[in-house]
Chain A
Amino acid sequence: MSIIVADGLTHRFGRELALEGVDLVLDTTEHMAVLGDNGAGKTTLLRILATALHPSAGTLQIAGLNASREKRRLRHYIGYVAHAPGLYPALSTAENLGFFCDLQGVPHERVGEVLDIVGLRHVADRRASELSRGMQQRLALGRAILHDPKLLILDEPDASLGGDAADLLGGLMRGRSAVLATHDQALANRLCPRTLVLRHGRSVGTATHLRVVR
Chain B
Amino acid sequence: MNPFLVAVAVARKDLLSEWRTREMVPALAQFIVLALLIGNFGFQIDSRNAPSIAPGILWLTLVFAGLVAFGRTFGAEREQASLEAMLMTPASPVAIFAGKALAASALLVACEAVLLPALSLFFGTPFSGAIVFVVLLATVGMAALGCIFSAIVARVRARELLLPLLTLPLWIPFIVAGGQAVQSAMGLPGSYDQAIGLLIDFDILFVVLTSLAARFVLDE
Residues of A bordering B, CB below 8 Å: 50-54, 71-73, 75-76, 78, 80, 82, 84-91, 95, 99-100, 102-105, 127, 140, 143
Distance in Å from the Cβ of B4 to the closest Cβ of chain A? 11
Given A105-B1, A105-B90, A100 contacting B17 (CB threshold 8 A)? no
In the bound complex, CA of A180 to CA of B81 (Å): 20
Which of A87, A105, A127 lies in contact with B82, CB distance below 8 A?
A: A87
Tell me, rounded to whole Å, the shortest Cβ–Cβ distance linking B115 to chain A.
25
Complex: how many Å from CA A13 to CA B14? 32
- On whether the beta carbons of B88 and A52 are closer than 8 Å, the reply is yes
B21 within 8 A of A: yes
Q: What chain A residues lie within 8 Å of B147 (beta carbons)?
A: none
Known contacts A87-B80, A99-B9, A103-B1; can you find 9 more A-B pairs with CB under 8 A?
Answer: A51-B88, A71-B219, A72-B90, A75-B89, A82-B84, A86-B81, A89-B80, A91-B17, A105-B90
Are A76 and B84 in touch, CB under 8 angstroms?
no
* A140–B80 alpha-carbon span in the complex (Å): 13
Check: B86 CB closer than 8 A to any chain A CB. yes
Query: Does B204 have its Cβ within 8 Å of any Cβ on chain A?
Result: no
> A87-B80, A91-B13, A99-B9 given as contacts; is B85 within 8 A of A76 (CB)?
no
Is B220 positioned at the interface, with any CB of A under 8 Å from its CB? yes
Contact partners of A105 in chain B: CB under 8 A: 1, 90
* Given the contacts A72-B90, A88-B80, A99-B9, A143 and B85 also touching, CB distance less than 8 Å: yes
Could you tell me the distance in whole angstroms from the C-beta of B214 to the nearest C-beta in chain A?
Answer: 14
- CA–CA, A89 and B16, complex, Å: 11
Report how many A-B pairs have Cβ atoms within 8 Å.
Answer: 70
Grouping DSSP codes into helix (H, G, I), strand (E, B) and loop, the B interface class, with mixed when no group exceeds half, is helix
Q: Is the CB of B90 within 8 A of A86?
A: no
Query: B89–A100 contact, CB under 8 A?
Result: yes
Chain B residues closer than 8 Å to A75, beta-carbon distance: 88-90
Of the candidates B5, B17, B80, B88, the one having the most CB atoms from chain A within 10 angstroms of its own CB is B88
Of all chain A residues, which has the CB nearest B91?
A: A103
| Distance between Cα atoms of A104 and B96 in the complex (Å) | 12
Assess whether B48 is interfacial by the CB under 8 Å rule.
no
Q: Is the CB of B82 within 8 A of A104?
A: no
- Shortest distance in angstroms between B124's beta carbon and chain A's nearest beta carbon? 40
Q: Whose C-beta in chain A lies nearest to the C-beta of B1? A: A105
A127 CA to B20 CA, complexed, in Å: 10
Nearest to B6 among chain A residues (CB) is A103
* A90 contacts B91, C-beta separation under 8 Å: no
Give chain B nearest CB distance to A43 CB in angstroms: 12
Q: Are B88 and A88 in contact (CB under 8 A)?
A: no
Task: List residues of chain A with CB within 8 A of the CB of B81.
Answer: 82, 84-86
Complex CA distance for A84 and B84, rounded to whole angstroms: 10
Chain B, Cβ-Cβ closest to A100: B89
**Chain A residues closer than 8 Å to B20, beta-carbon distance:** 90-91, 127
CB atoms of B85 and A102 under 8 A apart: no
Tell whether A80 pairs with B88 under 8 Å between CB atoms, given A99-B9, A99-B13.
yes
26 contacts between A and B (CB under 8 A): A51-B88, A52-B88, A71-B219, A76-B90, A78-B88, A82-B85, A84-B80, A85-B81, A86-B81, A86-B85, A87-B82, A88-B17, A88-B80, A91-B13, A91-B16, A99-B9, A99-B13, A100-B89, A102-B5, A102-B6, A103-B1, A103-B9, A103-B89, A104-B90, A105-B1, A140-B85
